[in-house]
Chain A
Amino acid sequence: MSNTTLGKPHRSDPADVSSSIYDVVIVGAGVSGAIIANELSQTGFRVLILEAGPGHDLTIPGYEQYLSRFYASASKDNNAPYPRNRNAPMPRSTDVRRLQPGEPDASGYIVQNGPLALDSTYTRVVGGTTMHWEGKALRMLPEDFEMRTRFGRGLDWPISYEQLAPYYRKAEFELGVSADVEDQAYHGIRFDPGYVYPMRGIPASYLDKTVARGLNGAEVTLRGEKFALTVRGTPQARNGVPNPRYDGGKGYVPVGAVSVEQVEQGERCQGNNNCVPICPVQAKYHAGKTLVKALATGRVKLLPQAVASKVVIDPGNGRVRHIEFKAYSDPGSTEHATGIARGRVFVLAANAVENARLMLASDLPGTSNLVGRNLMDHPFLLTWGLMPEITGTLRGTQSTSGIQDLRGGAFRRHQAAFAVSIHNDGWSWATGSPYSVLADIVDRQNQFGAALRRRLVDQVSRQLQLAFMVELLPDQNNRVTVDARYTDPLGNLRPVISYGLSDYTLDGIAYSRRLSRLIFQRLGVEDHTTYDPLDYAYVSYKGEGYTVRGGNHWAGTHIMGTSAKDSVVDGAQRSWDHENLYLVGAGSMPTTGTSNTTLTLSALSFLTAERIRGELDQDRSPATIAAA
């Protein structure tokens, strides 16, 4: 089967860009920007994408530079494949330190204002954070859209699950999701009759099956409500076996690696166990796959190494006049030229942190003063132990199954819901295994030779790690701000974040720990979970301590709502204050429930593209308004 092929991206120089007026100017070449660019360019509109990071051509050799850097990196953190770039710096988990009360830590790119240090990251390269995302593609539950109405907690969305459902279908096509629809209708998730995912579910790992054998049907009671636990396959945006029933029997063709040359790679997941930080064969979706289709229209200009620095507003009518950017030719030098990007419609698609940062750096906190506020992420609690038998570790995709039964329920009036992932990569995230285990056996257990090998198998190949992804509600005190004291080498203001966990979430975390004990007891798992009080992410709550990791699901900094008073954007992600400006991505989400954010923000991007297309269609005359 052929893969997407195309010539080199249509590049442009900054001066060229500044002399043109585009139909749409998009900031950020990640998944939101790529979907909107593709949808609009396919119907004839001219699009400019400004990308802060370097734009290696979308080629196999370009991609393999990332892979090679990952192999050669001693730290295999989730940004390890992507080069440090002073002009468009990105957060790295390895930069995070324990905070002292009242002392912001500015040693990494993100200034951490506390109270809790957050080790979430994002990636500033073409393709954005989908380069390193894991690819979990769960829909949100219908009840997640109505948290205020149903549970008196958080906020309601201005749109419902039913309204978003058609766009979920588009997103599942675009991202290439593998799942069996019969496994995914739970907690009110509804699919159209006859709907199937593009590809069949990714097979469960041997570990999943062993856990399922011991656990399925186990009943737990939470605040009087009974839940039966089931190990369930996770929808994943990675290539599996196409479902011939897809699209009314038309089937589906997986999208493999992107390249200028014809290649046959990435049409099936090979089990490289490296979704994060980089799939070596591109079997996992990344935004480059959508971007190449957009670029192939010839109507999309991609300007890499151009950092948006200011959104300039016409004070008369509140419309965006242009976006100022700083273009650098060498990532090693801060030498740059300032350019302006002009268009009829502007879309900020730089992610929840960078969108808010850019707005606040442009002195645009919004009528509601909510820009940057309600910052959310998914806090993760990890628990880990050893299975009673060898189940194999570091096999398959990093996670193939989970327990989703406590994503919803009446208990959400009182405490956070959560989703559970079973990890095929063992204790990697929690302890740095298998490296840490190797070092322990060699340096502390004093083993070598055959004895070393036997201990490795005993201590690595029985590992079970559960990751509890816990709901975090919008809270105006959790926020992104800027501060003139903190700038990057190009002179752009850096994001300053304040982040803490409410009792609602902490109760969900505490219950997650309790549930993990019940699961381990039932399976005969030897519990090895320990939380180090010196860890930067350690929190004490009701007499117990926990280490809470970031989920890289930045959200909520420009929430959607029903008016300019209660929100930053409307249900189609259009700014209430600036009618030709859209802020897109997870930043628009008023709540995130217990779904990884990418599938939902992709669905929102399709919805927004449709709205923008409608507006541009109404006014097909050449863009002169923005030239003023």
Chain B
Amino acid sequence: MHADQAEFQDFLSLSSVVTGFTAFQLQGTGQAESYFSTLIDILGEATVAALLQVFRRVQRETGEDAAALDRLLRAAIFSDEKLGPIARNLIKLWYVGTWYPLPAAWREAFGELEKDTTFVVSPAAYTEGLLWPAIGANPAGAKGPGYGTWSAPPRIPEV
């Protein structure tokens, strides 16, 4: 488990911004701590700390301005050769519970990481993926919505 509660809160805030789900919803999946430690496990504490540090700066500089946040996140994180692929992987981790290997160019530039392979974090990481609620569906194979529900129009949450 992580030592620094503040850092975990920053992880949650970053996760919320990149996934489009509230921190409350993310906590509700029960996966936040597991994903945070997975990230540290794969990338090391220093890299995760660097990512969160940049995110804190972006947040400080943009305040409540959503358009500015979007612009600055793209400038400082998504288009950063080291942090961009990590942020994109973090989105996929939240959406389908799966870590996908970082791009070859990343590994060439920043080094191979032993645990950077394709894996599902846990059985629950799959069923708690954000992809399913995002499209108004259940994860295939779990949380069946009940007999005949599929006959009615889908209920997809507004964003």
The answer to whether B123 and A71 touch across the interface, beta carbons within 8 angstroms, is yes
Q: Does residue A272 face the partner (Cβ distance < 8 Å to B)?
A: yes
Q: Does residue A97 face the partner (Cβ distance < 8 Å to B)?
A: no
Given contacts A271-B147, A281-B144, A438-B96, contact A394 B137 (CB under 8 A): yes
Where chain A touches its partner, the secondary structure class is loop
Q: Give A272's nearest chain B residue, CB to CB.
A: B144
Given contacts A272-B144, A449-B20, A450-B159, contact A395 B131 (CB under 8 A): no
The answer to whether A273 and B138 touch across the interface, beta carbons within 8 angstroms, is yes
The answer to whether B141 and A205 touch across the interface, beta carbons within 8 angstroms, is no
The answer to whether A271 and B120 touch across the interface, beta carbons within 8 angstroms, is no
The answer to whether B159 and A453 touch across the interface, beta carbons within 8 angstroms, is yes
Q: Does residue B111 face the partner (Cβ distance < 8 Å to A)?
A: no
Q: Which size bracket describes the interface of B in this complex?
A: 35 or more
The answer to whether B145 and A450 touch across the interface, beta carbons within 8 angstroms, is no
Q: In the assembly, what is the distance between CA of A395 and CA of B100, in Å?
A: 26
Given contacts A449-B20, A460-B135, contact A272 B78 (CB under 8 A): no
Task: Report B-chain residues with C-beta under 8 Å of the C-beta of A442.
Answer: 88, 91-92
Rounded to whole Å, the gap between the CB of A270 and the closest CB of chain B is 3
Q: Give A463's nearest chain B residue, CB to CB.
A: B135
Q: In the assembly, what is the distance between CA of A556 and CA of B75, in Å?
A: 61
Q: In the assembly, what is the distance between CA of A327 and CA of B140, in Å?
A: 36
Instruction: Choose among B19, B70, B91, B147 the residue with the greatest number of A CB atoms under 10 Å from its CB.
Output: B147
Q: In the assembly, what is the distance between CA of A271 and CA of B137, in Å?
A: 10
The answer to whether A74 and B141 touch across the interface, beta carbons within 8 angstroms, is no
Mask, A316-345, CB within 8 Å of B = 1, is 000000000000000000000000000000
Which of chain A's residues 189-208 have a Cβ closer than 8 Å to chain B? 203-206
Given contacts A72-B122, A73-B120, contact A209 B151 (CB under 8 A): yes
Among A68, A443, A454, contact of B88 (Cβ-Cβ < 8 Å): A443
Which of chain B's residues 33-83 have a Cβ closer than 8 Å to chain A? 70, 73-74, 78
The answer to whether A70 and B141 touch across the interface, beta carbons within 8 angstroms, is yes
Instruction: Choose among B134, B136, B141 the residue with the greatest number of A CB atoms under 10 Å from its CB.
Output: B141
Which of chain B's residues 110-159 have a Cβ closer than 8 Å to chain A? 118-120, 122-124, 126-127, 131-132, 134-138, 140-154, 156, 159
The answer to whether B134 and A392 touch across the interface, beta carbons within 8 angstroms, is no
The answer to whether B150 and A71 touch across the interface, beta carbons within 8 angstroms, is no
Q: Give A454's nearest chain B residue, CB to CB.
A: B159
Among A270, A393, A449, A456, contact of B144 (Cβ-Cβ < 8 Å): A270
Given contacts A73-B120, A448-B20, A448-B78, contact A205 B151 (CB under 8 A): yes
Rounded to whole Å, the gap between the CB of B65 and the closest CB of chain A is 14
Rounded to whole Å, the gap between the CB of B111 and the closest CB of chain A is 21
Rounded to whole Å, the gap between the CB of A594 and the closest CB of chain B is 25
Q: In the assembly, what is the distance between CA of A274 and CA of B95, in Å?
A: 18
The answer to whether B18 and A449 touch across the interface, beta carbons within 8 angstroms, is yes
On chain A, the number of residues with a Cβ less than 8 Å from chain B's Cβ atoms is 54
Task: Report B-chain residues with C-beta under 8 Å of the C-beta of A270.
Answer: 144-147
Task: Report B-chain residues with C-beta under 8 Å of the C-beta of A72.
Answer: 120, 122-123, 126
Task: Report A-chain residues with C-beta under 8 Å of the C-beta of B159.
Answer: 450, 453-454
Q: Give B133's nearest chain A residue, CB to CB.
A: A453
Among A206, A452, A457, contact of B152 (Cβ-Cβ < 8 Å): A206
Instruction: Choose among B17, B96, B142, B150 the residue with the greatest number of A CB atoms under 10 Å from its CB.
Output: B150
Q: Give B145's nearest chain A residue, CB to CB.
A: A271
Instruction: Choose among B98, B146, B148 the residue with the greatest number of A CB atoms under 10 Å from its CB.
Output: B148
Given contacts A393-B137, A448-B18, contact A280 B144 (CB under 8 A): yes
Among A269, A273, A390, contact of B140 (Cβ-Cβ < 8 Å): A273
Mask, A384-401, CB within 8 Å of B = 1, is 000000111111110010
The answer to whether A395 and B154 touch across the interface, beta carbons within 8 angstroms, is yes
Q: Does residue A424 face the partner (Cβ distance < 8 Å to B)?
A: yes
Task: Report B-chain residues with C-beta under 8 Å of the C-beta of A74.
Answer: 98, 118-120
Q: Give A240's nearest chain B residue, CB to CB.
A: B147
Given contacts A390-B154, A456-B131, A457-B134, contact A449 B146 (CB under 8 A): no
Q: In the assembly, what is the distance between CA of A456 and CA of B78, in Å?
A: 19
Task: Report B-chain residues with C-beta under 8 Å of the C-beta of A451.
Answer: 20
Q: Give B95's nearest chain A residue, CB to CB.
A: A438
Which of chain A's residues 382-429 have a Cβ closer than 8 Å to chain B? 390-397, 400, 424-425
Rounded to whole Å, the gap between the CB of A274 and the closest CB of chain B is 4
Q: Does residue A278 face the partner (Cβ distance < 8 Å to B)?
A: yes
Q: In the assembly, what is the distance between CA of A205 and CA of B147, in Å?
A: 11
Given contacts A442-B92, A448-B20, A450-B159, contact A206 B151 (CB under 8 A): yes
Q: Does residue A461 face the partner (Cβ distance < 8 Å to B)?
A: yes
The answer to whether B153 and A206 touch across the interface, beta carbons within 8 angstroms, is yes
The answer to whether B96 and A450 touch across the interface, beta carbons within 8 angstroms, is no
Rounded to whole Å, the gap between the CB of A330 and the closest CB of chain B is 25
Given contacts A71-B123, A272-B141, contact A400 B88 (CB under 8 A): no
Task: Report B-chain residues with C-beta under 8 Å of the C-beta of A241.
Answer: 147
Task: Report A-chain residues with C-beta under 8 Å of the C-beta of B151.
Answer: 203-206, 209, 396
Q: In the assembly, what is the distance between CA of A425 and CA of B141, in Å?
A: 12
Among B19, B131, B134, B149, contact of A271 (Cβ-Cβ < 8 Å): B149
Q: Does residue A1 face the partner (Cβ distance < 8 Å to B)?
A: no
Task: Report B-chain residues with C-beta under 8 Å of the C-beta of A394.
Answer: 132, 135, 137-138, 140
Q: In the assembly, what is the distance between CA of A253 and CA of B26, in Å?
A: 42
Task: Report B-chain residues with C-beta under 8 Å of the C-beta of A438.
Answer: 92, 95-96, 131
Q: Give A239's nearest chain B residue, CB to CB.
A: B147
The answer to whether A456 and B135 touch across the interface, beta carbons within 8 angstroms, is yes
Which of chain A's residues 201-230 have a Cβ closer than 8 Å to chain B? 203-206, 209
Task: Report B-chain residues with C-beta under 8 Å of the C-beta of A135.
Answer: none
The answer to whether A273 and B137 touch across the interface, beta carbons within 8 angstroms, is yes
The answer to whether A274 and B141 touch across the interface, beta carbons within 8 angstroms, is yes
Q: In the assembly, what is the distance between CA of A463 and CA of B83, in Å?
A: 33
Given contacts A74-B119, A435-B96, contact A461 B138 (CB under 8 A): no
The answer to whether A392 and B136 touch across the interface, beta carbons within 8 angstroms, is yes
The answer to whether B20 and A457 touch across the interface, beta carbons within 8 angstroms, is no
Extra A-B contacts (9), CB below 8 Å, given A395-B136, A439-B100: A72-B122, A204-B151, A392-B136, A395-B137, A396-B149, A448-B19, A450-B159, A453-B159, A457-B134
* 7 closest residue pairs by CB, A with B: A396-B150, A270-B144, A392-B154, A274-B141, A71-B123, A272-B144, A394-B137
Residues of A within 8 A of B (CB): 67-68, 70-74, 76, 203-206, 209, 240-241, 268-274, 278, 280-281, 390-397, 400, 424-425, 434-435, 438-439, 442-443, 446, 448-454, 456-457, 460-461
Q: What are 17 sample pairs from A and B whose C-beta atoms fall under 8 A apart?
A: A70-B141, A71-B123, A71-B124, A71-B127, A71-B141, A71-B142, A203-B148, A269-B144, A271-B145, A271-B146, A273-B140, A281-B144, A438-B92, A438-B96, A448-B73, A452-B91, A453-B134
